[in-house]
Chain A
Amino acid sequence: MTFIDIRGLKKSFGPTTVVHDFDLSVERGEFISFLGPSGCGKTTILRMIAGFESATAGSIAIAGKEVAHLPPAKRDVGMVFQSYALFPNMTVADNIAFGLRVAKRSADEIRTRVRQMLDLIKLPHLGERYPYQLSGGQQQRVALARAIAVKPQVLLLDEPLSALDAKIRVSLREEIRALQKELGITTIFVTHDQEEALSMSDRIVVLSEGRAEQIGTPFEVYNYPRTRFVASFVGTLNLLAAEVVEPAAGRLALDGRTVSTASSLAVRGTGETVTVAMRPEALSLGAAAGDRNAIPGTVEDVAFLGAVVRIRVRLDAQTVSLDAFNQPSVSLPKKGDAVTLTFTREDLLVLEEDR
């Protein structure tokens, strides 16, 4: 059964509409990420779910109950903010106890719950510290504990890792995901970092200009981007123009060479120009083998990125990048070398036009 049901959600600020007819169904215990660039509407949607913004139109139901008209305090939703938002005048323990005190729980229950939360976030000895005495990572863990101490039905995370340094970000995202799985709490996570979204989520909602461009598992969004926007925003991608040759057989002309795709060309006409996408890691150098597509080209640049080597190859008119693992025993091509690019039909994705 759908736990969070969002239908036709719309938000306008004056004449500007920032969220257009947004629909989403979230299952109980699911971890959903809203992924998109700044200004795409992801935080606005989250704030409408939390009740901090009122929707211009549409409905939001949590556990079958319509909440769009309720104030934030009545929605039973926990929120974690980018800036932590810990109360500076309270100790860590008092911060965690805040929601419990508001709910008028007994002193014994509050004490027990605060201890449980401190253990859960692995800061059992820091209960008496003030927020300014903690690091950014510790503050965000306390903010998380404060949000889940009251056992909300839904946890909303608004770019909680953005203010942290890279190393802490990686460890904290693993902790958040582990915690979410342990508690089974339905979670919506807002981020502009594709790596965070890909590594943490059950499903990702890719947003652009207030619209959901694609909703799918990380595997689907990464490997089968539906639109040019999703393809360019999630991961590194080669976007090329190709001409439809035989729609029924899935054949295209790419820089004068005929190649095959597994994507459907049923609605395309012969001679139509389409945008195709290929992941750099899906491309290989070497002689054509079996039914792999093969296109000749010239090496334009070789960039060493550590674990990966990125090679830029010029075809006839367009350029593609391919990633190869860094293997010291294997010699790399040099600039100007003639090479053959190979890839499978599944790796050549034909994209829908952006909405």
Chain B
Amino acid sequence: MKKSTFGPWLAVVLGAAYFLIPLIATVEFSMRMKRGEYSFEAYRVVLGDPRFQASFSYSVALALATIVIGVLLVVPTAYWVQLRLPKLRPVVEFITLLPLVIPAIVIVFGYLRIYNSESWLPLTDSARGTDLLLAFGYVTLALPYMYRSVDTGLRAIDVRTLTEAAESLGAGWATILFKVIFPNIRSAILSGSFLTFAIVIGEFTFAALLDRPAFGPYLQLVGANRAYEPAALAIIAFVVTWACMGLIQVFGAARGTAQK
């Protein structure tokens, strides 16, 4: 007897409606800035706002710094754990999961206590120092995603044998990491990087409490004072996030083709 597909389809339709209706409503609302007609006026205003450009550029720069620091921290750690300290894997996994269970506000207040102007390392004393602190904070925030992506990539290749093959050919650790390991987990690193990018672009708590001109606080500011522009900004943020997810898919597919 043929099974009815009504139930599964109903679940799909309800799920899609749950996600799509608010989104469509937001798009529709964002286009009603001019009375009596649909237009992209709200988008024009937002994109033309110098504060949007400054905050978005700032967040992009910070996201890139976060990605570089995160990759340089996570790849050697995950590689070393897999190669030499496999027994430590549960401990490292637990540590990388902590940012998911500790609220961002707790982390940032911790930072403020440890790195304030009267501490032994007064990072919050200067704008550059606070930027650095914010980047480190974002590295922590993105750690669960970056670590998991890299770890999955490392598990997909025979790390031990590739390392030994390179060693037997005279390669040192830097050559092995940058010529053998990094290129072979490139798509995993990119996946982690795009997730990090998406997190940093929309992050509010760290940037607001450290008083930095990032995109998240700008979103909040506009949302509190304007009607149509916040909807346009929300859609722009969605597009940026979707673009990152799309790039993960593209690079994931490219790896699948290259290693078939």
A contacts, CB < 8 Å to B: 50-52, 71-73, 77-79, 81, 83, 85-89, 98-99, 102-103, 130, 132, 143, 146-147, 150, 156
Q: Given A52-B164, A81-B164, A85-B161, are A73 and B259 neighbors across the interface (CB < 8 Å)?
A: no
Chain B residues in 8 Å Cβ range of A86: 165
Asked if B49 is at the interface (CB within 8 A of a chain A CB), the reply is no
* Interface-facing stretch out of B74-82, B86-94, B102-110, B167-175: B167-175
Besides A88-B258, A99-B171, 7 other A-B contacts (C-beta < 8 A): A85-B158, A89-B186, A98-B171, A102-B170, A102-B175, A146-B165, A150-B170
- Please, how many angstroms separate the alpha-carbon atoms of A340 and B3 in the complex? 72
Chain B interface main SS type: helix
- With both chains docked as a complex, state the minimum distance between the C-beta of A233 and any C-beta of chain B, in angstroms: 27
Instruction: Check if A72 sits within 8 Å of B259, measured CB to CB.
Output: no
Q: Given A52-B164, A81-B165, A132-B258, are A99 and B170 neighbors across the interface (CB < 8 Å)?
A: yes
- With both chains docked as a complex, state the minimum distance between the C-beta of B174 and any C-beta of chain A, in angstroms: 11
- How many A-B residue pairs lie within 8 Å, measured between CB atoms? 70
Instruction: Check if A83 sits within 8 Å of B168, measured CB to CB.
Output: no
Instruction: Check if A79 sits within 8 Å of B171, measured CB to CB.
Output: no
Q: Given A87-B184, A88-B184, are A71 and B167 neighbors across the interface (CB < 8 Å)?
A: yes
Instruction: Check if A72 sits within 8 Å of B161, measured CB to CB.
Output: no
Asked if B114 is at the interface (CB within 8 A of a chain A CB), the reply is no
Which size bracket describes the interface of B in this complex?
A: 20 to 34
**What are 20 contact pairs spanning A and B, CB under 8 A?**
A52-B164, A71-B167, A72-B167, A73-B169, A73-B171, A78-B168, A78-B169, A79-B164, A81-B165, A85-B162, A85-B165, A87-B162, A89-B184, A98-B179, A102-B169, A102-B175, A146-B165, A147-B168, A147-B169, A156-B168
Chain B residues in 8 Å Cβ range of A78: 168-169
Instruction: Check if B180 sits within 8 Å of A87, measured CB to CB.
Output: yes
Instruction: Check if B161 sits within 8 Å of A99, measured CB to CB.
Output: no
- Please, how many angstroms separate the alpha-carbon atoms of A156 and B157 in the complex? 23
Instruction: Check if B168 sits within 8 Å of A89, measured CB to CB.
Output: no
Instruction: Check if B162 sits within 8 Å of A50, measured CB to CB.
Output: no
Residue of A nearest to B167 (CB): A72
Asked if B260 is at the interface (CB within 8 A of a chain A CB), the reply is yes
Chain A residues in 8 Å Cβ range of B175: 102
- With both chains docked as a complex, state the minimum distance between the C-beta of B26 and any C-beta of chain A, in angstroms: 42
Chain B residues in 8 Å Cβ range of A77: 168
Within the complex, which residue of A50, A103, A130 is in contact with B168, where a contact is CB–CB below 8 Å? A50
Query: Restricting to B143-175, which residues have a CB under 8 Å from any CB of A?
Result: 157-158, 161-162, 164-172, 175
Interface centre among B165, B179, B184, B258 (most CB of A within 10 A): B165
- With both chains docked as a complex, state the minimum distance between the C-beta of B101 and any C-beta of chain A, in angstroms: 36
- Please, how many angstroms separate the alpha-carbon atoms of A130 and B260 in the complex? 11
Asked if B246 is at the interface (CB within 8 A of a chain A CB), the reply is no
- With both chains docked as a complex, state the minimum distance between the C-beta of B207 and any C-beta of chain A, in angstroms: 37
Residue of B nearest to A71 (CB): B167
Instruction: Check if A83 sits within 8 Å of B161, measured CB to CB.
Output: yes
Asked if B129 is at the interface (CB within 8 A of a chain A CB), the reply is no
Chain A residues in 8 Å Cβ range of B169: 73, 78, 98-99, 102, 146-147, 150
Q: Given A88-B184, A132-B260, are A73 and B172 neighbors across the interface (CB < 8 Å)?
A: yes
Q: Given A85-B165, A132-B260, are A102 and B180 neighbors across the interface (CB < 8 Å)?
A: no
Chain A residues in 8 Å Cβ range of B179: 87, 98
Residue of B nearest to A74 (CB): B170
- Please, how many angstroms separate the alpha-carbon atoms of A99 and B170 in the complex? 6
Instruction: Check if A72 sits within 8 Å of B158, measured CB to CB.
Output: no
Chain A residues in 8 Å Cβ range of B157: 88
- With both chains docked as a complex, state the minimum distance between the C-beta of B165 and any C-beta of chain A, in angstroms: 4
Q: Given A89-B183, A130-B258, are A73 and B162 neighbors across the interface (CB < 8 Å)?
A: no
Instruction: Check if B168 sits within 8 Å of A73, measured CB to CB.
Output: yes
Chain A residues in 8 Å Cβ range of B167: 51-52, 71-73
Chain B residues in 8 Å Cβ range of A98: 166, 169, 171, 179
Chain B residues in 8 Å Cβ range of A85: 158, 161-162, 164-165
